[in-house]
Amino acid sequence: MKRWILLLFCLCFLAGCWDRREINELAFVSSAAIDKDGDRWHVTVELFEPGGMQGEKSNSAKGRQGWLVEAAGESIFSAIRNLAKVVPRRVYWSHCQGIILGEEAAKEGLAEFLDFCVRDQEVRSSVLLFVSHGKAKKLVIETVGSIDDTLGLQLAGLANIAKLASSNLVTTVRDFSVDLATDGVSPMLCGLKLVPTKTLPGSFSSKDGDVKAASGVKVQLEGQALFRQTKMVGWLPENQVRGILWILNPPTGAIINVKVPGTQQRVSLELVKVRSNLQLKANGGERRLVIGVEGEISLGGQASSRNLNLAASARSLQRQCEAVIRNEIQQAIETAMKLQVDPFGFGHFIHTKDPKYWHRVRTNWPEKLPPISYAIEMKLVSSGLKTGGPALERRLDK
């Protein structure tokens, strides 16, 4: 009897479903754009359409399955709360794939934005962060549909493919916050821009069989936004982004184009394995950074019509590949030094290897960046299924 009384007494304190949230009462955020105009924050969110959430398939004719709404306020939190004036459901952030920050907002500083992200319980630390070239709102509104149903899903896909293409380094709220809190590291974010296009991908056939397509713009990854603390100070151009990747995230699968020995034609080399390492050499009171990159490359293809045995020119191809890698790293370092930032994390590396030396140069970092030398070694290990060229001349003569 006492056991039953105790059990009934405990049941009185069970929480039950007091904080439940019915799915038909929520508006799920797919992506968001955040801009700043003077002292006011502007938030534009892309919400999943209920029909798209129920499993309806998107097609080229239908385009995006998102609903765009905008609100403004004196703070980010108030701007988001003002969305309730136009959205008949509670805006729910836990499914947000990507947040795009306007260039002007990024230059003024992201301290308030980061505070909101780490304080709000719904915003995941794994949400992707981007900086737009210009207004973020324009990018969200004007972009057209893609193979994915919403811009948020498209951004998530681009982040995954960027690793394969070795084109950009897409980071999250967590990544940015960790870099910001780490001594000797300057945060950075991947850039986004709108690109005009005359014919959209995914053209569809009409009833009479004609292929139709509209004109518009598409979103693509473009450059890296470099930060000093929470303020953006400039862009790392697209052709220099890989210079950072060689050090931070060696781009296995990257393609390097070099000249075919003895001709003006080019050959594409693919990196199948690549590793990087940093060393700090001491010589008395002087220090030197050594950037090491080593890897294996294979022949991806050549444009020469001559039946050349490129495997016999392996050493020349290797040396050209090494020169390209070194040049890309040098250009990226030069741009970063002009902006006085250290996205490579050289300062943090020195801090871990030689704390006393870091203590001497910390206040003037990265102006006190020590001299840099390079140890780059590539090895040609594969030519694919053939060693010669396409030998088109004989076939064309016939």
Note whether 172 and 281 are same-domain residues. Answer: no
Choosing from 236, 271, 297, the residue where a domain stops is: 236
Phi and psi (nearest 5°) for 4? Answer: -65, -40
Q: Enumerate residues 6+ apart whose C-beta is below 8 A from 334.
A: none
Exposure class string for 336-352: b at 16+ Cβ within 10 A, else e = beebebbbbbbbbbbbe
Q: Is 141 inside any structural domain?
A: yes
pLDDT of residue 64: 67
Q: The tokens of 335 are what?
A: 């741009």
Note whether 263 and 343 are same-domain residues. Answer: yes
The 3-class secondary structure across 312-335, one letter per residue, is: HHHHHHHHHHHHHHHHHHHHHHHH
Choosing from 193, 210, 236, the residue where a domain stops is: 236
Q: Which residues form the domain of 150?
A: 22-236
Exposure class string for 33-69: b at 16+ Cβ within 10 A, else e = bbbbeeeebbbbbbbbbeebeeeeebebeebbbbbee
Note whether 194 and 264 are same-domain residues. Answer: no
Note whether 53 and 174 are same-domain residues. Answer: yes
pLDDT of residue 290: 96
DSSP category for residue 58: P
Query: Residue 187's closest CA among 225, 155, 222, 223?
Result: 225
Distances (CA, A) of 139 to 48, 87, 109, 142: 17, 21, 20, 6
Note whether 96 and 243 are same-domain residues. Answer: no
pLDDT in tens, the chain (398 residues): 666 676 766 666 555 555 566 777 888 999 999 999 988 999 999 998 876 544 444 443 455 678 899 999 999 999 999 998 989 889 999 999 999 999 999 999 999 999 999 888 889 999 999 999 999 999 888 886 667 778 898 899 988 888 777 778 999 999 999 999 999 999 999 999 988 766 555 554 444 444 444 446 788 899 999 999 999 999 999 889 999 999 998 888 888 888 877 777 788 888 888 999 999 999 888 899 999 999 998 887 665 555 556 666 788 889 999 999 999 999 999 999 999 999 999 999 999 999 999 999 999 899 989 999 999 999 988 665 455 554 433 333 33
Note whether 221 and 249 are same-domain residues. Answer: no
pLDDT of residue 375: 95
- Domain count within the chain: 2
pLDDT of residue 212: 45
Note whether 271 and 225 are same-domain residues. Answer: no
pLDDT of residue 315: 86
Note whether 294 and 347 are same-domain residues. Answer: yes
Domain of 274, CATH number, reads: 3.30.300.210
- Residue 52 and residue 62: Cα distance in Å, rounded? 11
Q: Is 16 inside any structural domain?
A: no
Note whether 202 and 122 are same-domain residues. Answer: yes
Choosing from 213, 236, 259, the residue where a domain stops is: 236
Query: Residue 383's closest CA among 265, 270, 264?
Result: 270
Phi-psi region of 109 (alpha: psi -120 to 50; beta: other; left: phi over 0): left
pLDDT of residue 142: 83
Note whether 100 and 202 are same-domain residues. Answer: yes
